[in-house]
Amino acid sequence: MIKAGVIGATGYAGAELVRILMNHKEVEIKWYGSRSYVEQPYADIYRNMFEIVDAKCMDDNMEELAEQVDVIFTATPQGFLAGVLNESILSKTKIVDLSADFRIKDVATYEKWYKIEHKSPQFIEEAVYGLCEVNRDLVKKARLVANPGCYTTCSILTAYPLVKEGLIDADTLIIDAKSGTSGAGRGAKTQNLFCEVNENMKAYGVATHRHTPEIEEQLGYAAGKQILINFTPHLVPMNRGILATEYATLKKKADGSLPTYDEVKAAYDKYYAKEKFVRVLPKGVCPETKWVEGSNYVDVNFVIDERTGRIVMMGALDNLVKGAAGQAVQNMNLMFGFKETEGLEMVPMFP
C-alpha cells in the first residue's frame, strides 16, 4: 500500500480522485486537502461519501504533506503548484499535477496563454506529459507528471495516429469540441448557473482557448514539426462528457488517390489495438458521451469524406475521469509499478 494526498479534494476533479482511489487496492488516502473547508468533515461536503470517508479536510501545506505520503495529486488552479514546488518536496514524494503548470515546455508560451508568471520553471523540463498511451515509458520513471487537460486528451488521442503516420496535413486540423459544465469547475460563476446553461449551447474562448498550445505542442511532437490548429470549445448543458469532432485534409498517396478506410483503420489499430482505455469503434458508429460516462474509456472513430478529400475524426470521453482523475490514477499506477488498470475498470454508466 502507498499513501496518497489530494490537494483540491473538494473540487470536481478532486472529488473524482477520491471516488476512484477509495476503490484502489494499493492506495490509502491520508490527506484531503481543501483550503476552503479546513476542519470540515469531507462527507459533509460530498454526501455520497457518508460513512465511507470519516476524515476532515486539511489545508494545502505541501511541505508537511510531502513528509507523510508517497504521492500527491494537485487538483488545483493554475499557478498553485508552480508557486510552492521545490526540490525538497520532490525529493520526498511523487506528484501528479492536474493543472497546466508543467504541461507546456516553453515558459513564455505558458505565461502568454495563462497570463500568470511561472514560479518554478526549473522543473518544467523534467516534468513528463502524462498521456499514458503516448508517454507510458517516460511516466514510469517520472517523479513529476503533468496530467493532460480534458479537451486536450480527447483532441490529441482522436487525431494522434493519423498525425504520427503522416496521413493528414496537421496544419489543416480543425477541432470542434463540446464539454459538460463540470469542466468549468465547482466555483460559483454566473455563466455556469442553471438558467445560463440550461437550454443553451455556446462557443467560448474562440481562437484564444488556453488548451490550444498544449494540443499544438503534443501533436507537433507526433508530426515532427511545429503545427498550427484551430480549436473551438463549446459549453453544453450536461454534467459530464467531452465530444471532439475534428477535420483535416488527407494526404494523397503517390498515385493521387486518398487513403482507404482500411488504411486509416490500420493506423488507429497500430496505436490503440492493445490499449485498454482507447476503443476504436466499428465502421459507421459515431462516439457518444453517454457510452463513456463515469469511465476511463475514450471512444474514437472516423469518416472519410471523399468529396472534399478530408477526414472527420471523432472522440468522446468523460472529462472528470479520463480527462482528469482517471488519467491521474492511470499515471500513478505507472509511476509505482502497479497494474495500469487498477482502480479504473469502471463500466460506463447508463443511463
Residues designated as active site: 150
Q: Can you say whether the dihedral through the CA atoms of 290, 150, 208, 163 is positive or negative?
A: negative
- Residue of 280, 128, 308, 137 whose CA lies nearest to 218: 128
Please count the other Cβ atoms lying within 10 Å of the Cβ belonging to residue 202: 11
| 3-class DSSP assignment, residue 89 | helix
Burial of residue 224, with CB atoms counted within 10 A of its CB: 0-12 exposed, 13-18 middle, 19 or more buried? exposed
Alpha-carbon gap, residue 43 to 56, rounded angstroms: 8
Cross-strand bridge partners of residue 280:
300
- Lay out the sheet containing 202-203: strands in order across: 202-203, 230-235, 174-179, 242-249, 310-317, 298-305, 278-280
| 3-class DSSP assignment, residue 98 | coil
Q: How far is CA 324 from CA 35, 225, 264, 321, in A?
A: 20, 27, 28, 5
Listed in sequence order, the DSSP H helices in 169-288 are 194-197, 212-223, 261-272
Please count the other Cβ atoms lying within 10 Å of the Cβ belonging to residue 129: 23
C-alpha cell at 225: 514539426
